[in-house]
């Protein structure tokens, strides 16, 4: 299967799918959370499993045979990826979810030839959903389908200083050193892929994470930022590529910019 773009009908179906996964998370009561630690010492809950199940079943119906690489079910990818596949994080920001903060998301990306062509991110606790189709634009919606979509766009870098989106749980020394080289006037601290949504809607200007991250954490937000006019690159400025099973679907680091003309080399000469 090869998809070069996502048409309006499929985009609507995928939007509804991510909204259903968000609803599945909200339906899990704290008493039924059943938190446990995975082999990599990160938490997973019944909500992760519920959202993952909704997305897997929905994709099987909408796009039969599409390989799925999910944080909670990597085996579904099979031995090799075809040209188009899905990257899924059914609950990005589980630490924030367990802590009772609303900074967690549901991430779904469609990837072709190693690049995301569409991304869908639900923010269940805030009642929001973001979507972006690369080369077609990005939108912010409500989880309530009665709320009309609003087009969003990255902003030009302001002259008075940049707003940086930074991780609540994964702010590494390299990212701090990178930010120290920029005229940062304000920081927005939050968890999950919500930081990438803040770039896409023009609230923040730069989000560096120079430490390793997983492809399913980034791909959906990458698509939304790109659809909104921004850019996401590796730390040296090269394109981020997805589907690297041989690297356990890990990315060594990235930088997201709302204004592509504002990029700097994160490694001083």
Please report, for the domain that includes residue 246, its CATH number: 3.40.190.80
Q: Who contacts 40 (Cβ-Cβ below 8 Å, separation ≥6)?
A: none
Same domain, residue pair 93 and 215: no
The pLDDT score that the predictor gives to residue 165 is 96
In a domain, 200, yes or no: yes
The pLDDT score that the predictor gives to residue 34 is 61
Residue 48: CATH number of its domain = 3.30.540.10
- Reported confidence tier of residue 43, pLDDT bands at 50, 70, 90: low
The pLDDT score that the predictor gives to residue 71 is 87
- Reported confidence tier of residue 269, pLDDT bands at 50, 70, 90: very low
- The residue among 94, 128, 152 that closes a domain is 152
Q: Express each pLDDT in 2-21 by its tens digit.
A: 898 899 999 999 999 999 99
The pLDDT score that the predictor gives to residue 150 is 97
Residue 38 has pLDDT above 60, yes or no: no
Rounded to whole angstroms, the Cα distance separating 189 from 186 reads 10
Beta pairing partners, 68: 86
What letter does residue 187 receive in the DSSP assignment? Answer: E
CA angle 47, 50, 53 (to 5 degrees): 150
In 3D, which of 129, 119, 107, 87 has the Cα closest to residue 230?
119
* Residue 85 burial (CB count, 10 A): 24
Segment among 54-58, 97-101, 221-225 with least mean pLDDT: 97-101
Range of the domain at 184: 162-262
How many structural domains is the chain composed of? 2
| Predicted TM-score of the model (pTM) | 0.93
CA trace torsion 236, 240, 243, 248 (10° rounding): 40
The pLDDT score that the predictor gives to residue 75 is 44
C-beta of residue 88 within 8 angstroms of C-beta of residue 107: yes
Q: Express each pLDDT in 170-203 by its tens digit.
A: 778 899 999 999 999 999 999 889 999 999 999 9
CA angle 230, 120, 10 (to 5 degrees): 115
Residue 249 has pLDDT above 50, yes or no: yes
Same domain, residue pair 110 and 221: no
In a domain, 93, yes or no: yes
Q: Who contacts 81 (Cβ-Cβ below 8 Å, separation ≥6)?
A: 67, 69, 243, 245
Segment among 81-85, 137-141, 208-212 with least mean pLDDT: 81-85
Same domain, residue pair 130 and 193: no
Same domain, residue pair 176 and 256: yes
List Cα–Cα distances, 254 to 48, 60, 128, in angstroms.
25, 31, 25
The pLDDT score that the predictor gives to residue 1 is 81
Same domain, residue pair 147 and 216: no
Same domain, residue pair 229 and 247: yes
Same domain, residue pair 180 and 245: yes
In a domain, 267, yes or no: no
């Amino acid at each position: 299967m090869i998809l070069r773009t996502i048409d309006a009908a499929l985009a609507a179906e995928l939007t509804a799918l991510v909204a259903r996964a968000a609803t599945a998370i909200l339906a899990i009561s704290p008493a039924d959370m059943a938190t446990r630690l995975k082999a990599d010492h990160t938490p997973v809950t019944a909500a992760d499993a519920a959202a993952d199940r909704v997305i897997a079943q929905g994709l099987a119906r909408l796009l039969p045979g599409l390989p799925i690489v999910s944080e909670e079910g990597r085996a579904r990818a099979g031995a090799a990826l075809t040209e188009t596949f899905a990257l899924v994080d059914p609950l990005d920001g589980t630490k924030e979810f367990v802590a009772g903060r609303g900074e967690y998301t549901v991430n779904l990306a469609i990837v072709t030839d190693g690049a995301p062509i569409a991304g869908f991110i639900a923010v269940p606790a805030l009642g929001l959903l973001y979507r972006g189709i690369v080369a077609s634009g990005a939108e912010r919606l409500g989880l309530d389908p009665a709320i009309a979509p609003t087009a969003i766009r990255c902003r030009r870098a302001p002259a008075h200083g940049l707003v940086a989106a930074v991780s609540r749980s994964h702010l590494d020394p390299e990212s701090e050193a990178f930010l120290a080289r920029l005229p940062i006037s304000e920081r927005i601290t939050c968890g999950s892929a919500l930081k990438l949504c803040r770039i896409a809607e023009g609230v923040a200007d730069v989000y560096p994470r120079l430490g390793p991250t997983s492809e399913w954490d980034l791909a959906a937000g990458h698509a939304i930022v790109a659809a909104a006019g921004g850019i996401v690159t590796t730390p040296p400025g090269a394109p981020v590529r997805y589907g690297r099973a041989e690297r356990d679907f890990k990315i060594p680091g990235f930088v997201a910019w709302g204004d592509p003309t504002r990029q700097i080399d994160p490694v001083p000469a």
